[in-house]
Structure formats: structure tokens, C-alpha cells
Amino acid sequence: MNYFTDKIDAVRRDNAGDNYEKAVAAMEARIHDYLRRKSGISLVELARDVDGFRGEDSWVAPETNVVIWRNMSRAAIAAMLELIRHEK
């Protein structure tokens, strides 16, 4: 197991359910599509342009306790971790 797998599993446990899994898969597809169409994308642009990206949670790097980005949806955090894990 690595950081990304552990974090994704924790987010899924906290939000168990078929609808959540579908929301994460849909968010992952929207983010991936956006990244394919444009280069040099920032989290600001993702928050502005990708439906459902914004939310109430923070994406945190637990080993350093550094906040990567605030005001993200849980689905967006899980989707970003999946994209990173699969190097997309």
C-alpha cells in the first residue's frame, strides 16, 4: 500500500455507497478530459471550470500536514488521488 491507495480507501470508507463511487468516477473523467484538452492547468482553473470540483473539504498531504488545496469536494479529492496514482 502507498499514500495514494491508503488515502483513496479512507475517503471511500467515509463515503461508502454506489452513488459516491459513481460521483468519483464521473469527476475523474471530467478532470482527466479537462487536463487532456489544456496544458499547464492549475487547481484554480479546475475549481473554476470543472463542475463539482469545489466543496467543503481540504486536500491535505498527511506526511507533512500541508494543505494542497481548500474548498474541494470529497469526490474531487478522491478523483485527483486516483489520477495521480494511475499517472494520468
The stretch 8-37 carries a mean pLDDT of 80
**Partners of 15 in the beta sheet?**
none
Q: What is the pTM of this model?
A: 0.77
- Find all residues with CB under 8 Å of 27, minimum gap 6, and list them: 50, 52, 53, 73, 75, 76, 78, 79
Q: How confident is the model at residue 20 (pLDDT cuts 50, 70, 90)?
A: confident
pLDDT of residue 9: 60
Q: What percent of the chain has pLDDT over 70?
A: 80
Hey, what's the cell of 77? 479529492
Contact present, 6 and 14 (Cβ < 8 Å): no
pLDDT of residue 56: 93
pLDDT of residue 1: 44
pLDDT of 7 above 80? no
Q: Give the DSSP per-residue string, 14-79.
A: HT-SHHHHHHHHHHHHHHHHHHHH-SS--HHHHHHHSTT-EEEEEEEETTTTEEEEEEE-HHHHHH
Q: Can you give the residue ranges of every domain in the chain?
A: 3-85
pLDDT of residue 88: 74
pLDDT of 62 above 80? no
Rounded Cα gap, residues 1 and 46, in angstroms: 28
